[in-house]
């Protein structure tokens, strides 16, 4: 049976890959695309790391697996708690393959902390606090890596460097450690399905993307050199892919995917300020002490004031408020759901429609164009037992080029100018392998939810009947699918440990700082 290796490149986009392909800078990726299939991979709505990678793992929408963001409201509270793997309400690829006797390896996969038992090994990714916690399964795997690889780092920080060059060098060091870990595990252990995620592209694009945009006006001659950092890292990643491919046979399957893409944002839409302007939200009259993080770069100082919503908003006079920036949505201050709810359940539909209509008429005063392409009720996008966790309204900005901000009170107006790299729904998919199985050429209309059933099919496993994704059938030769029709089964129930005592206060502080540095909180 052929093996399946999945390489996740967090944030990778054809917007960067295509120009480099034209210059023959990515020979490994070019060869994979030539002998396999490729196309844009649509992410979740919104395109955020937590829900997107969990949808990759489960083949299900956030309304079924329960992860809409990195955090979730506490019951009857405006406070939030960090999510982790114990909150995933659906069986994952790792678990399905394990219970069917397949040997698996998962490395640096987001939302897998704490790691759970599998028929193989697992190394948690983002939301694991640090290397001192139990972030590997089995637990003794980390000491083994220290002995045989030399070091291992869970994630990569984009703050605290004197120059972007130093940041780039450290990113390469972390990536090299990740590669060495993967190659060691591929050689040391038996495996049928191996999934590994590299986060470097996402991390560096968050900070350097603006310098690749033709509209960005360089402040110094030195800034003009920063755009090359992204291009160089893509080229370095191409070489890493080549090293991994050397361990695979021609009959094995190799998949590259990202959880989302990237694009330029030219404005911030301050959603809470807009809600205040329209009379749906009131800020507290008492002055609030704002404590925030300040990330300093030698070319720029960016002060981020991230005070909690709980202290900024007068809840007794508020009907609706913004979710986290990464949620791209609005919550109704509903009686029975929130402690100072002001909206009766009978008023819910009328209020959400009123807000929706006003949002769709909101113009950018500079261009005269709509700020939003669409505003959805959550029921229009999601369907599942976890629907209650979703924002009541989900916003799609025009061309996905406006960054939604939950900041308020201190920001002026509801729009502000800036150029930044932000997530876009169009990620990447490249599949290569056994030529008797796979087609060649471009495939369209594929979703990140489609990867789980496709991977299970490649592994010769049955697919849960309640899965939302579908097999990417146009990636396969028709004669192969005729001889090997997919098999579906009743979805298995999943029991997870209760979320008790997983994070200490110090852990939470570390993770929050990491997410803040990435603009996720």
Q: pLDDT digit string (tens) for 200-242?
A: 999 889 888 988 888 887 777 667 777 788 999 999 999 999 9
Q: Is the dihedral of CA 417, 422, 423, 428 positive or negative?
A: positive
Q: What is the DSSP letter of 8?
A: E
- Give me the torsion for CA of 50, 305, 214, 31, rounded to 10°: -20
- Separation of first and last alpha carbons in the chain: 44
**Predicted confidence band at 504 (pLDDT cuts at 50, 70, 90)?**
confident
Residue 505: C-alpha distances to residues 196, 276, 508 (Å): 29, 33, 5
Determine whether 82 is exposed, middle or buried from the number of CB atoms within 10 Å of its CB (0-12, 13-18, 19+). Answer: buried
Residue 349: C-alpha distances to residues 201, 354, 518 (Å): 41, 9, 35
The token duo for 352 is 């959400």
DSSP letters spanning 108-156:
EETT-PSP---SEEEEE-TT---TTS--EESTTHHHHHHHHTS---S--
Model pLDDT, residue 130 = 84
Res. 32: pLDDT tops 70: yes
Q: pLDDT digit string (tens) for 133-150?
A: 999 999 999 999 999 999
Domain 4-63+84-260+425-517 has CATH 3.40.720.10: yes
Omega prior to 380 cis, within 30 of 0: no
Closest CA to 328 of 271, 370, 276: 271
The token duo for 263 is 């694009």
Q: pLDDT digit string (tens) for 200-211?
A: 999 889 888 988
Res. 57: pLDDT tops 70: yes
Q: Is the dihedral of CA 475, 68, 132, 139 positive or negative?
A: negative
Average pLDDT, the chain: 90
Model pLDDT, residue 226 = 78
Closest CA to 198 of 256, 115, 143: 256
Note the Cα 317 to chain centre separation in Å.
Answer: 34
Model pLDDT, residue 160 = 67
**Predicted confidence band at 358 (pLDDT cuts at 50, 70, 90)?**
very high
The pairing of beta strand 320-322 with beta strand 329-332: antiparallel
**Are 253 and 454 a contacting pair, CB within 8 Å?**
no
For helices 27-35 and 14-22, what crossing angle results, to 10°? 100
Q: Where are the domains of the chain?
A: 4-63+84-260+425-517, 264-422
According to CATH, the topology of domain 264-422 is Gyrase A; domain 2 (3.30.1360)
**Predicted confidence band at 41 (pLDDT cuts at 50, 70, 90)?**
very high
**Are 11 and 262 a contacting pair, CB within 8 Å?**
yes
Closest CA to 88 of 120, 121, 110, 118: 110
Closest CA to 79 of 384, 269, 315: 315
Q: pLDDT digit string (tens) for 386-432?
A: 999 999 999 999 998 899 988 766 556 899 988 889 999 999 999 99
**Are 269 and 420 a contacting pair, CB within 8 Å?**
no
Phi-psi region of 273 (alpha: psi -120 to 50; beta: other; left: phi over 0): alpha
């Amino acid at each position: 049976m052929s093996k399946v290796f999945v390489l996740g490149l967090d944030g990778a986009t054809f917007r960067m890959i295509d120009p480099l392909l034209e210059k023959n800078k990515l020979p490994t990726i070019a060869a994979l695309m030539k002998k396999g299939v490729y196309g844009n991979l649509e992410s979740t709505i919104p395109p955020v790391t937590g829900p997107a990678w969990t949808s990759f793992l489960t083949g299900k929408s956030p309304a079924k697996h329960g992860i809409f963001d990195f955090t979730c409201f506490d019951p009857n509270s405006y406070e939030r708690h960090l999510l982790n793997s114990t909150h995933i309400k659906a069986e994952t690829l790792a678990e399905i393959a394990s219970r069917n006797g397949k040997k698996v390896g998962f490395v640096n996969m987001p939302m897998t902390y704490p790691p759970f038992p599998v028929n193989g090994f697992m190394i948690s990714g983002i939301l694991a606090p640090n290397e001192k916690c139990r972030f590997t399964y089995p637990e003794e795997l980390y000491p083994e890596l220290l002995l045989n690889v030399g070091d291992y780092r869970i994630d990569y920080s984009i703050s605290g460097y004197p120059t972007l060059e130093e940041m780039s060098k450290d990113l390469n060091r972390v990536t090299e450690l990740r590669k060495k870990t993967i190659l060691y595990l591929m050689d040391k252990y038996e495996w049928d399905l191996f999934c590994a995620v590299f986060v470097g592209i996402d991390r560096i694009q968050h900070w350097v993307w603006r310098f690749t945009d033709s509209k960005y006006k360089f402040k110094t001659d030195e800034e003009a050199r920063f755009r090359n950092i992204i291009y160089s890292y893509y080229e370095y990643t191409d070489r890493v892919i080549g090293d991994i491919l050397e361990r695979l046979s021609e009959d094995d399957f190799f998949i590259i995917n990202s959880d989302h893409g990237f694009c330029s944002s030219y404005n911030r839409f301050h959603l809470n300020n807009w809600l205040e302007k329209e009379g749906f939200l009131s800020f507290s009259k008492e002055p609030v002490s704002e404590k925030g993080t300040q990330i300093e770069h030698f070319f720029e100082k960016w002060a981020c004031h991230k005070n909690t919503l709980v202290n900024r908003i007068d809840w007794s006079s508020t009907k609706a408020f913004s979710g986290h920036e990464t949620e791209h949505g609005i919550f109704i201050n509903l009686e029975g759901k929130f402690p100072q709810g002001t909206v009766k359940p009978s008023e819910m539909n009328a209020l959400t429609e009123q807000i929706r209509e006003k949002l769709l008429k909101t113009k950018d005063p500079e261009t005269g164009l709509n700020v939003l392409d669409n505003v959805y009720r959550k029921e229009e996008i999601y369907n599942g037992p976890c629907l209650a966790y979703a924002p009541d309204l989900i916003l799609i900005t025009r061309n996905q080029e406006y960054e939604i901000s939950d900041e308020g009170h201190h920001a002026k107006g509801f729009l502000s100018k800036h150029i930044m790299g932000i997530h876009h729904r169009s990620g990447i998919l490249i599949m290569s392998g056994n030529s008797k199985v796979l087609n060649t050429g471009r495939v369209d209309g594929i979703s990140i939810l489609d990867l789980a059933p496709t991977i299970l099919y490649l592994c010769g496993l049955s697919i849960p009947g309640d899965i939302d994704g579908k097999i990417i059938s146009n990636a396969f030769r028709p004669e192969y699918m005729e001889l090997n029709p997919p098999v579906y089964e009743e979805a298995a129930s999943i029991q997870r440990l209760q979320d008790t005592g997983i994070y200490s206060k110090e852990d939470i502080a570390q993770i929050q700082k990491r997410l803040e540095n990435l603009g996720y909180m």
